[in-house]
Structure 1
């Protein structure tokens, strides 16, 4: 789920937000946007166009190094964005495929590796987005974020937890409700 990716990014930046609360808001915003951004390729070639599970590391690591050496709102928001976007793309390999009904296991494509020019196979540790184990992982990852952030970010995180639970509850039915032209 996109929300699980957001929670993973927020959990990753939570320690920095606790140590430097003056940067908590920009870290949270960068992590939320980075957790969502790769999935904007849903209307293109999903998990290929904006997902960079290997090449993204070449952007994320320097961004984090620059932010560590020169902490500012700009460097930290960019580092949180790049790191979380890479984490999103890399972690898609632990789930199922990108198709609308990944529980059918029709493909052996999880996420595209642009460096090698081929698809990484799905590991299916999380059977599909919205599976019960995905919802459970999302909730576990949301806890550090709920503890580290406050104010409006806490409300956004709590709302995303609710959306995650609703999505997981209805995930398998969504395929039936989806118009054919979206598949």
Structure 2
């Protein structure tokens, strides 16, 4: 699923604190936002493998959440919600499309790499692919209520995420068609960081 969806889901996980413990909410929301985004920082370095840990993030989140209950501080909450959001991110990618330039074609059986089992997990395609209408619908269902619940700097963050999500859905297939042409022009020192699927599909 697209990055804005992951960011919004991360914020949604921590949003209840905005209602029930507003003094703790900023740290939890920031941690959840970072955790929702973190796995996709591997976009150009082993995407859905280098920073995606569908087994280890959940395992790490359990003691972190327990610790945050016992020692409730901004740092413990940020870490707990960050790991929880990263775990949700990796699970969500499994329920989306495969790792390919045109995932609507359904030619890839690689969704997320599971380091625990040493193999790629197959895509379930409940959400057809990142940037699909279903992906946008999920972003809207999660994001619009956040505009009413959150305050301060997180409101424009949600607004920007929804704007990017909508734009990406409108441009998704056009971008896939442009990618081989654009990335084939990347200077040689940077070419090694371009995913092969961007060059040859």
Conservation of the 8 A alpha-carbon contact between 1:9 and 1:31: yes
Partner residue of 1:6? 7
> Structure 2 CA distance, aligned partners of 1:17 and 1:59?
24
> Structure 2 CA distance, aligned partners of 1:98 and 1:165?
21
> Structure 1 CA distance, aligned partners of 2:76 and 2:10?
16
Alignment of 1:65-104 (within 5 A): 65-104=66-105
Q: How big is each residue's C-alpha offset from its partner over 1:122-172, in whole Å with a ceiling of 9 and x where there is no partner?
A: 001111101001001011011342232101110111111111101111111
Alignment of 1:1-183 (within 5 A): 1-178=2-179, 179-181=182-184, 182=194, 183=198
Q: How far off its partner does 1:112 sit?
A: 0.9
> Structure 2 CA distance, aligned partners of 1:68 and 1:147?
27
Q: How far off its partner does 1:17 sit?
A: 2.5
> Structure 2 CA distance, aligned partners of 1:17 and 1:66?
20
RMSD: 1.2
> Structure 2 CA distance, aligned partners of 1:180 and 1:21?
45
Whose helix fraction is larger, Structure 1's or Structure 2's? Answer: 1
> Aligned pairs, how many?
183
Q: Cα distance 1:99–1:57, how it changes in 2: closer, same or farther (>3 A)?
A: same
- TM-score w.r.t. the length of structure 1 is 0.95
Conservation of the 8 A alpha-carbon contact between 1:111 and 1:119: yes
> Structure 1 CA distance, aligned partners of 2:99 and 2:33?
21
- Gap runs ≥5 in structure 1: none
Q: How big is each residue's C-alpha offset from its partner over 1:41-83, in whole Å with a ceiling of 9 and x where there is no partner?
A: 1111111110011111111111111112211110011111111
> Structure 2 CA distance, aligned partners of 1:71 and 1:148?
22
> Structure 2 CA distance, aligned partners of 1:177 and 1:71?
48
> Structure 1 CA distance, aligned partners of 2:175 and 2:24?
38
Larger-Rg structure: 2
> Structure 1 CA distance, aligned partners of 2:136 and 2:97?
15
Q: How far off its partner does 1:104 sit?
A: 1.6
Q: 4+ runs of 1 displaced by more than 4 Å?
A: none
Q: How big is each residue's C-alpha offset from its partner over 1:18-50, in whole Å with a ceiling of 9 and x where there is no partner?
A: 111011211221111111110011111111110
> Structure 2 CA distance, aligned partners of 1:141 and 1:70?
29
